[in-house]
């Protein structure tokens, strides 16, 4: 289910409206006191007008500041509402998220993607459960003298361990180690969780993307793909089955 876009304008104006109301109340009180003082002043020693003139100026400055804050809050609310509306465009898309953890459903499959730099000859990745235990290990060597082609590779996992047994539902992490021709580890390997954006969910005024059962902030998304015509979850990357 897609959550509705929160109307943030009324929330943003609450503080400014409260401040404006308090200022109006204080100003009314000030006028009452000023009028009373003027009525009861000693004609032979009238009040110095500079003092209450300064107070009137201060009230005016505070009112201007409140109005300025109110306008800023409205602008921020409009920008936030626009961003929330833009988030609707993620629904139905495939995304890569800056996270190496995915949620596996009972009897389901899961997907990651990893980015390889140049100079990689061998790749080994491990799938770990929430306890940090390795449930699957896969090693791949390049059949080309130049090594693997730099770019993003998808990992499609069938939810089974190294013995072919289905693992329990839960959170699983992908760790990737890339090595060059000399066996030295190569830096610069990035791992992403890949999934289908099912819905938006608002929690405490913050919108989250629901991606294959997990919640992510929209700014965690690094890539967006149109859904493929078939049932595969991947984009146009190279694919490895785990």
Beta-bridge partner residues of 127:
136, 174
Cβ atoms of 201 and 218 within 8 Å: the answer is: no
> What is the percent of the chain with per-residue pLDDT over 90, rounded to a whole number?
46
At 186 the pLDDT is 92
Cβ atoms of 95 and 34 within 8 Å: the answer is: no
The two structure tokens encoding residue 188: 């610069």
Alpha helices in 40-156 (DSSP H): 49-87
DSSP letter for 187, please: S
Cβ contacts of residue 201 below 8 Å, gap of 6+?
3, 207, 208, 210, 215
CA distance 215 to 84: 15
CA distance 188 to 184: 13
CB atoms closer than 10 angstroms to residue 175? 15
At 185 the pLDDT is 92
- Taking CA 87 as the corner, what is the angle to CA 84 and CA 93, rounded to the nearest 5 degrees? 165
User: For the whole model, what pTM was predicted?
Assistant: 0.62
The two structure tokens encoding residue 10: 């009324």
Beta-bridge partner residues of 210:
199, 215
At 193 the pLDDT is 96
Distance, C-alpha 17 to centroid of its chain: 29
pLDDT along the chain (242 residues), means of 10: 39 59 66 66 66 68 70 61 69 94 93 93 95 94 85 94 94 95 91 93 86 92 84 59 68
At 4 the pLDDT is 35
């Amino acid at each position: 289910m897609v959550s509705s876009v929160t109307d943030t304008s009324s929330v943003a104006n609450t503080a400014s409206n409260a401040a404006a109301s308090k200022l109006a109340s204080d100003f009314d009180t000030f006028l009452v006191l000023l009028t009373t003082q003027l009525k009861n002043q000693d004609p032979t020693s009238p009040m110095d007008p500079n003092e209450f003139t300064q107070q009137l100026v201060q009230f005016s400055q505070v009112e201007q500041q409140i109005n300025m804050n109110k306008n800023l809050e409205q602008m921020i609310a409009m920008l936030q509402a626009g961003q929330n509306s833009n988030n609707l465009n993620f629904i139905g898309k495939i995304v890569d998220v800056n996270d190496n953890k995915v949620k596996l459903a009972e009897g389901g499959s899961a997907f990651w993607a990893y980015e390889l730099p140049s100079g990689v000859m061998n790749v080994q990745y491990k799938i770990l459960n929430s306890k940090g235990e390795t449930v699957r290990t896969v090693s791949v060597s390049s059949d080309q003298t130049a090594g693997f082609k730099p770019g993003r590779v998808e990992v499609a996992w069938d939810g089974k361990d190294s013995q072919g047994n289905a693992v329990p539902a839960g959170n699983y992490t992908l760790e990737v180690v890339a090595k060059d021709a000399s066996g030295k580890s190569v830096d610069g390997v990035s791992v992403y969780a890949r999934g289908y954006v099912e819905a938006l969910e608002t929690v405490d005024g913050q919108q989250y993307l629901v991606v294959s059962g997990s919640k992510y902030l929209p700014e965690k998304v690094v890539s967006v793909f149109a859904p493929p015509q078939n049932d595969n979850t991947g984009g146009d990357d190279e694919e490895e089955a785990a």
